[in-house]
Amino acid sequence: MRRHAIARQYLFALGVSVLLAAPCAASPQVSLSVGFDQQVVRNTFTPFEIEIAGLASPVDGTLKVRQSAGLPGERRAEIVHVIQSGTIENGTLRATLPLVEPLNPVTVELVAQDGRTVAVAEQSLRLGVRQWAYPLTVGRPTGIASAAVVGAEELPLDWWAYDAVREVWLVDPPFSEPALQALGEWTVSGGSLLIVSGSAYPRMDSPTLRRLLPLSAPQLEEAEDGTFFVGGAQRAEAETVLKRGVRPLLVQMPLGAGRVSLVTVALADLGPGELELIAERIPQAQRPPTTERVSAALLRSTRVPRPAYWLAPAVTGVTLASLVAFGLWGTRRRWTFGAFVGSLVALAAWSGFYGNSHKRFVREYSMITNVSVLSSFGINTAFSSFYAVEPRSVTMRHELGSFPAGGYVLGARGGTLSAESEAGQTRFALQAAERRDLLFHSRPAAESLRFRFDGTYAEIENRTGKTLANAYLAADDAILSLPAIQPGTQRLAVQTGLMLGEARSTYLSLRSILRPIEEWLPIAQRGVWLVTLEEWPEATDRDAPTLEREVWITILQGERT
Amino acid sequence: MKRILIGERGLWVYATFVAGCGLALTLSMPWTSTLSDLMSYPWRPFPLPFFLTYGFLSAWVALDRAAEAVPVGRPRVAFLAVAALRVGFTQLLALPLVAASRALFPDDWAAIPLAAAYVVAASLAFAAGAVVLEILAVRRGRHPAGLRYGLFFAWLGLPAILLAVAGPIRTLAQLSPAVAVASIVGGDVALPGVLVAFAAPALATVAFTVWCLVLSKGAST
C-alpha cells in the first residue's frame, strides 16, 4: 500500500511538472547564427541563419533582423532587414545580409500581423569579430591557422556570402551543386578556392565541380606508394605550382578575377610540411570591383534639367527694345502702341510656355552602374549612388533575395541614415545635399551573349534583342573597337586596335571603366573578353521628380579558336 | 499716348524697372548645368528675390510716375486716371518677365497671378497716395519727395515689426507689402492673411481716391 502511495505521489509530481513545462516547450523561439563558425568582419556581406521553433501553428507576420550602425556609446542608426513576410512556419531560414557593426548586438524578431512580438532573440557577435578576411575550411579542420570550420551542409548559396573569406578549402565532400555553383561565382568575382581531392575525389565529382577544376578530364590515379592522385590534362590557363616527384601536387588556374587551386591528393596523404607549402601558395581572395569611381563620375556629370541661360536676359532685352522703340517712335506712328502691346503680350505668352515646359526641378538623382562578369560562372554587381537636393525618402528597388549594403557610415551631420530593406526594395532617408552609395550583388540573368575570336574575326551571337553600340574586344594586351553588334549571329572583322595603355587614355568612357575593372580582372592577360557598355536613357518621373541613369557594363569571356 | 503713359523723363524710369526686374530674374534662374556644380553649390528654385524686386520697383515707378502726372493748374481728377494707366503700363512691361518666372515654380504656380495681382493693387495704392501728396505739396509750395518716400518706406517696414509678435496680431504683418509678397510667393499664408494683405492696398486706394476727389472739389470751388 505504502509503495503504491509513493508511486502515486511521484506520478502526481511528474504530471504537475509536465503540465507546467508544457507551455514552455511550446513557446515560440527564434535563434540566430551569424557568419562562418561565428566569425564576422565589419561591413561585409555575411551569412545569417535563423531558426524558428515552437510555433504551434504558422504565424502571419514578419521576420526581421535589426542591426545598428555607429559604435556603442555614439549616435546609432537602425538598419532593418525583413527576411520573410507572410506565413511563417517552424524551420530554418538563410539570408545573406550586410553586417554593419558587429560590436552592437543583432536582434531577430518575429512580429505577428497585429504588431505583437511572437519571439525575439538578441545575439552579441563581439567574440567572433575579426579585422581581416579569414580562411574557411569546409569539412574538417586542416590545421590552417585561424581558419573557420563549417560543414558542407552549412555552405551558403549566395556568392557574396563569402565576402569576408580569404580562401575556401574544400576538404570533406559531398558538396551540393548549388553550393559549388555559389563557390564558382565567388571565384569569378575574385575568390580563391582550393579543392583538396585525391581519394576523396569520387565523392565530390559533379558537373559543376568539373567546371571548377583546372583539369579537363580528371581521373583518379594510384601512385607507386599507394597514394591516390587526381590526374588529367591541364586546361590551357592552368599551371603546376607544386610537385611531388613527377606528379603535380598543386595545380592552379585563373577563373574570372579569382583563382582555383587543386591539391591532387587527399588531406590525410599530405606529407610533412606540404600543407604549409600549399598554404603559402594560395592567393588571397579579392573583393569584386567597386564601380564607385565610375558611378560617382557619371553621377557628377549628370545634367541638371533647367531653363536655358539666355531666357531671362533675352526676355529682358526684347522688352527693353520694345520700350525704347515705343519711346522713340510712339508719337509718330499711330499703330506703334498696338504693335508694342502685341509684342509684349506675345513675348509674355512665349516665355510663359517656355517656363512651363522647363520648370521641372529634379529633387533626387540616382546613378546605377551594373557590372556583369560572365565566365564559366557569372556574377552581377551594382553600385548605386543617390543624391537628394532636398530631404527625401528614397525607395531603391532591387532584385529579390539580395540586400544592398553600404551608406551606413555615420557622418558628422545630423539625420538618421537608417534603412529598411525587404524583399525587392530598400527605403532610406536622405538629407538635403546628401549623397548615399549602395552596393548590391546578384546573379546574372540567362546568358544572352556568346562569342569566339580567331585573331581576325569575332563571331558574336547576340540574343539580347538590342543593338550593342559600344563594344570592345580585349585580347593579347590590346583592346579592339568593334562595330555595332546587331541582334543575331554575325561575324565581325577586327583589324585595328589600340594597346590597352593607349585605350585607357584615349576613350573617356573606356578610361573610366577599364581602370577599376582591370585592377581587379586583368582581361588582357586572361584569354579573350568582350566588353560592352550600354547607357540606358534617363528615366524621369514627372509625379515623383527624380532622374535616374543606368549604365550596364558586361564583361564576357569568349573562346579563342 | 506716349505722353500719357511715359511722361517727362519716364523712359529711363521704365527702362530701369525692366532692367532691374530682368536682372533679378536672371540671377534667380538656375545656373548649374551638371550635378557636380549642384553638389558644390546646392541650389533650388527661389523666386522670392525676383518678386520682391518686381514689387519694390513697381511701387517706386508708381510713386514716381504718379507724382509726375500732377502738373500745376490742371483738373485734378484726371491725375488719378493717368496714374492708373501708368501703373497698367508698368505691369504690361513686367508681364513677359512675370510669365518667365513660371520656370521658378516647379510645383504650384497659383502664387504667380496672386503675387502679380497684389503688386498691381499695391502699386495703385502707392500711385493714388503719391497723387494726393503731390496735390497737397503743390498747394503748400513744398517739394514732396522726402515725405513720399518716407511714407513709402514706413508702410513697407513698420508692419513687418509685427512678425516678431506671436498670436493673431502677427497676421497684421501682412499689411507690409514686402511681407505680403513673401508670404504669397512662399505659399505660407492662409486665407485671412491674404485678405488682410489685399485689404490694405484696396482700402488705401479707396481712401486716397476719395481724398483726391475732395481736394479736387475744394480746388474747383
Task: Give the nearest partner residue to B95 out of A317, A324, A344, using CB atoms.
Answer: A344
From A538, A537, A508, select the one nearest A305 (Cα to Cα).
A538
Task: Give the nearest partner residue to A344 out of B25, B93, B103, using CB atoms.
Answer: B93
Given an 8 Å threshold on Cβ–Cβ distance, is B2 in contact with A326? yes
Specify the amino acid at residue A14.
Answer: L
pLDDT, tens digit (0-9, with 9 covering 90-100), for A227-268:
999 999 999 889 999 999 889 999 999 998 899 999 999 999
Given an 8 Å threshold on Cβ–Cβ distance, is B23 in contact with A389? no
From A33, A136, A46, A36, select the one nearest A92 (Cα to Cα).
A33
Q: Which residue has the cell 525583413?
A: A82
Q: Cα-atom radius of gyration of chain B, to the nearest Å?
A: 19
Q: Which residue has the cell 576523396?
A: A200
- Chain B residues with CB-CB distance to A432 below 8 A: 42
* Per-residue tens of pLDDT for chain B, all 221 residues: 667 777 777 788 999 999 999 999 999 888 888 888 888 888 888 889 999 999 999 999 998 888 877 765 555 667 888 888 899 999 999 999 999 998 888 877 788 999 999 999 999 999 988 888 888 887 777 777 777 888 888 888 888 787 777 777 777 788 888 888 888 888 777 777 788 888 888 999 999 888 888 877 765 54
Task: Give the nearest partner residue to B35 out of A302, A317, A351, using CB atoms.
Answer: A302
- Contact status, residue A478 vs residue A500, Cβ threshold 8 Å: yes
Q: In terms of DSSP bridges, do strands A106-112 and A59-69 run parallel, antiparallel, or are they unpaired?
A: antiparallel
Chain A nearest-CA distance from B113, in A, is 12
Q: Give the pLDDT of residue A541.
A: 67
Task: Give the nearest partner residue to A355 out of B22, B42, B99, using CB atoms.
Answer: B99
Closest residue on chain B to A301 (Cα)? B34
- Contact status, residue A234 vs residue A216, Cβ threshold 8 Å: yes
Integer Cα distance of A256 and A188 in angstroms: 4
Q: Give the pLDDT of residue A158.
A: 94
- Contact status, residue B104 vs residue B29, Cβ threshold 8 Å: yes
Q: Give the pLDDT of residue A2.
A: 58
Chain B nearest-CA distance from A235, in A, is 48
Element (H, E) at A461: strand A457-462
Task: Give the nearest partner residue to B100 out of A311, A390, A435, using CB atoms.
Answer: A311
SS3 content of chain B, % helix, strand, coil (to 5): 80, 0, 20
Given an 8 Å threshold on Cβ–Cβ distance, is B18 in contact with A323? yes
- Chain A residues with CB-CB distance to B23 below 8 A: 316
Strand partners, A419: A79, A428
Q: Give the pLDDT of residue A428.
A: 84
Q: Give the pLDDT of residue A418.
A: 62
Residue A366 pLDDT greater than 80, yes or no:
yes
Given an 8 Å threshold on Cβ–Cβ distance, is A361 in contact with B44? yes
Q: Give the pLDDT of residue B221.
A: 47
For residue A10 the three cell numbers come to 511521484
Integer Cα distance of B134 and B129 in angstroms: 8
- Burial classification of residue A51, based on how many CB atoms lie within 10 Å of its CB (0-12 exposed, 13-18 middle, 19 or more buried): middle
Given an 8 Å threshold on Cβ–Cβ distance, is B2 in contact with A327? yes
Strand partners, A255: A258
Given an 8 Å threshold on Cβ–Cβ distance, is B105 in contact with A359? yes
SS3 content of chain A, % helix, strand, coil (to 5): 25, 40, 35
Specify the amino acid at residue B146.
Answer: G
pLDDT, tens digit (0-9, with 9 covering 90-100), for A488-533:
898 887 755 544 455 444 445 555 666 667 777 877 677 888 888 8
Going edge to edge, which strands form the sheet with A478-482?
A: A434-442, A378-388, A364-374, A546-557, A529-541, A470-475, A478-482, A498-499
Sorting pLDDT into bands at 50, 70 and 90, what band is A14? Answer: low
- Contact status, residue B199 vs residue B63, Cβ threshold 8 Å: no
Sorting pLDDT into bands at 50, 70 and 90, what band is A332? Answer: low
Q: Give the pLDDT of residue B1.
A: 66
Cβ neighbours for B103, distance < 8 A, ≥ 6 positions apart: A306, A307, A311, A354, A355, A356, A358, A359, B29, B45
